[in-house]
Structure 1
Amino acid sequence: MNTQEHIHALINVLSHSSKEDYTDILLNFNFQDINFSEIENWKIHSYTRNCFYKDENFELILICWDKGQKTAIHNHNGEECWVYLLEGELEEDFYELDDSGQLEYKSSQILRPNEITKSEGHDGFHRLRNSSKSRALSLHVYAKPIAQSLTFDDALGKLVDKNLRYDTFKSFVSVGL
């Protein structure tokens, strides 16, 4: 199978499965047979969000991280998110709102290739950062697709609603799977 056929197989299995099975699906899928170079898009000053599938139930986004790049602290607006690390190393910091509505650091974890992390709900916030000395690639599955998140704005020093965007959108499958 070629890359498009493997991506089609991933989309097909996710489409016909319950969200409760997504973790197992991602951990057991053979990502080594997918050449992500056709989807990759790199920027010097920020990570990139490269969507390659989206329907009403989920979206698949390849995030390309150069050394030291990180997200702002954010939540997923009540939607579930799975992050599967393909290459490199990411550090994930977890935060919660305290009684006064301020973000409070809780813990961190290191994500290595072939490992997964999952975010859900409105209360949890996190930040991902490429903590390695090389590039990193991560696959993000958002169920349902996420258009907005509550994000900490460093300049304003507070949480703000942020509309999310893709740096690229390249569909690898035809409509009507």
Structure 2
Amino acid sequence: MKSPETIQKLLQLLSQSPTEDYNVILNAFDFGSLDFAPFESWSNEKYTRNCLFKDAKFELILLCWEQEQETAVHGHDGEDCWVYLLEGEMEEVFFTIDDDQCLREIGSQKVQSNQLIFMNDKIGFHKLKNSNLGRSISLHLYAKPIENCVSFDEVSQTFIERQLSYDTFKELALKD
């Protein structure tokens, strides 16, 4: 049975655990029992960022992707980022800055439903793209919340500081 209570269980596990345990928690959690429908929002213009929870320790965001929508190449402001693909298929493309200070693609991977990936600034920069023939939904966990990040501006061909925002904020309260 799908119930918002299982989302509460995930929030409790994350809030009571050190960051070092997030990977194990996310890999072991039964996301198939969660109902994210009340938190979904969709746009034909861009993927949407829908905040489920945010405190000083972490934020949990549901991203809803229409076909071929993608992020800019970006960093994570020094924070760790886990992405669990709930539905669909994504492509993650990796980038680095070469010796000439130019952005260079260094690889990519396909991400399938029920797969967890990890990224931080020590690994480099990346972008995510919905490579599915339909919609995709991903759950993003940031430890700690990210207010700003650098993203690559295609027009100026430089990295710019970007303030992040949510399309919806239906925050769940952490229950004791």
Query: Which TM-score applies when normalising by structure 1?
Result: 0.95
> Mind listing any 5+ residue stretches in structure 1 that lack a counterpart?
none
Q: Calculate the aligned-residue CA RMSD, in Å.
A: 1.4
Instruction: Look up the SS of the partner of 2:94 in the other structure.
Output: strand
Query: What does residue 132 of structure 1 align with?
Result: 132
- The amino acid across from 1:38 in the alignment is P
Instruction: Look up the SS of the partner of 1:35 in the other structure.
Output: coil
Query: What does residue 153 of structure 1 align with?
Result: 153
State the Cα deviation string for residues 3-53 of structure 1 (Å, max 9, x = none). 321111001001111211111111111111111110000000100000010
Query: What does residue 54 of structure 1 align with?
Result: 54
- The amino acid across from 2:106 in the alignment is K
* Deviation, structure 1 residue 123: 6.0
Q: Distance in 2 between matches of 1:84 and 1:29?
A: 11
- The amino acid across from 1:32 in the alignment is G
Using the aligned pairs only, state the percent identity: 45
> Mind listing any 5+ residue stretches in structure 2 that lack a counterpart?
none
Q: How does 1:79-158 map to 2 (within 5 A)?
A: 79-121=79-121, 124-158=124-158
* Deviation, structure 1 residue 122: 5.2
Q: Distance in 1 between matches of 2:18 and 2:87?
A: 26
Q: Distance in 2 between matches of 1:170 and 1:84?
A: 19
**Is 1:14 matched up with 2:14?**
yes
Query: Which TM-score applies when normalising by structure 2?
Result: 0.95
Q: CA contact under 8 A between 1:81 and 1:143: conserved in structure 2?
A: yes
* Deviation, structure 1 residue 102: 1.5
